């Protein structure tokens, strides 16, 4: 993947992140679930949730994690990599800041997950060390292969070019 492709990929992920945070702000506000407020904010909720592929990844502790294990909380997936020089650390720092400003009941329902787009270099040890700079509760996942990464990125409409 060229530097330009990585940059485009990360920028698309940031747009998805901003949209997700906007949806959260609108839904957790006083007009919770009000379709008019959502439309005014430029948000369209899909009538059905998406089915994610049965992908198993390795977390920062070296343990296998299936997508189904993320159920039960809002999972904010950030697609990035630990050797990213600028956008990834900036985004993770912003996520840490946003998380610190959320009320405790919202934090309890949220998990921030870094899905590595560089499974060949982002080992569990590398992910654990990297994420510890931002928030020890952030989850780091590395797909077993580029094919597994493509499955999950396509399912959540994140363009990925290996």
User: Is 12 one of the annotated binding-site residues?
Assistant: no
Q: Which residues contact 31 (CB under 8 A, 6 or more apart)?
A: 37
Higher pLDDT, 24 or 161: 161
**In whole angstroms, what separates CA 73 from the centre of its chain?**
13
The CATH number for 108's domain is 3.40.30.10
Whether 113 is covered by a domain: the verdict is yes
User: Is 84 one of the annotated binding-site residues?
Assistant: yes
How many domains are contained in the chain? Answer: 1
Q: Which residues contact 109 (CB under 8 A, 6 or more apart)?
A: 73, 74
pLDDT tens-digit series, residues 1-12: 677 777 767 776
- In order of 10, 48, 51, 91, 122, the CA distances from 83 in angstroms are 13, 36, 30, 14, 8
Q: Which residue has the tokens 């006083």?
A: 30
User: Which range marks the domain in which residue 7 is found?
Assistant: 3-155
pLDDT tens-digit series, residues 75-132: 888 899 999 998 899 989 988 998 998 889 888 999 999 999 999 999 999 999 999 9
Whether 96 is covered by a domain: the verdict is yes
pLDDT band at 30 (very low <50, low <70, confident <90, very high): low
Whether 162 is covered by a domain: the verdict is no
């Amino acid at each position: 993947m060229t530097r330009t492709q990585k940059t485009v990929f990360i920028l698309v992920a940031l747009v998805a992140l901003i949209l997700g945070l906007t949806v959260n702000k609108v839904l957790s506000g006083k007009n919770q679930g009000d379709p008019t407020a959502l439309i005014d904010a430029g948000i369209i909720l899909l009538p059905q949730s998406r089915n994610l592929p049965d992908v198993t990844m390795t977390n920062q502790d070296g343990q296998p994690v299936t997508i189904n294990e993320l159920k039960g909380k809002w999972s904010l997936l950030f697609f990035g990599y630990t050797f990213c020089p600028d956008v990834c650390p900036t985004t993770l720092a912003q996520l840490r800041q946003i998380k610190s400003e959320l009320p405790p009941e919202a934090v309890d329902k949220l998990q921030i997950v870094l899905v590595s787009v560089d499974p060949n270099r982002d080992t569990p040890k590398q992910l654990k060390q990297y994420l510890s700079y931002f928030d020890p509760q952030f989850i780091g996942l590395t797909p077993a292969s580029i094919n597994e990464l493509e499955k999950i990125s396509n399912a959540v409409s994140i363009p990925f070019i290996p």
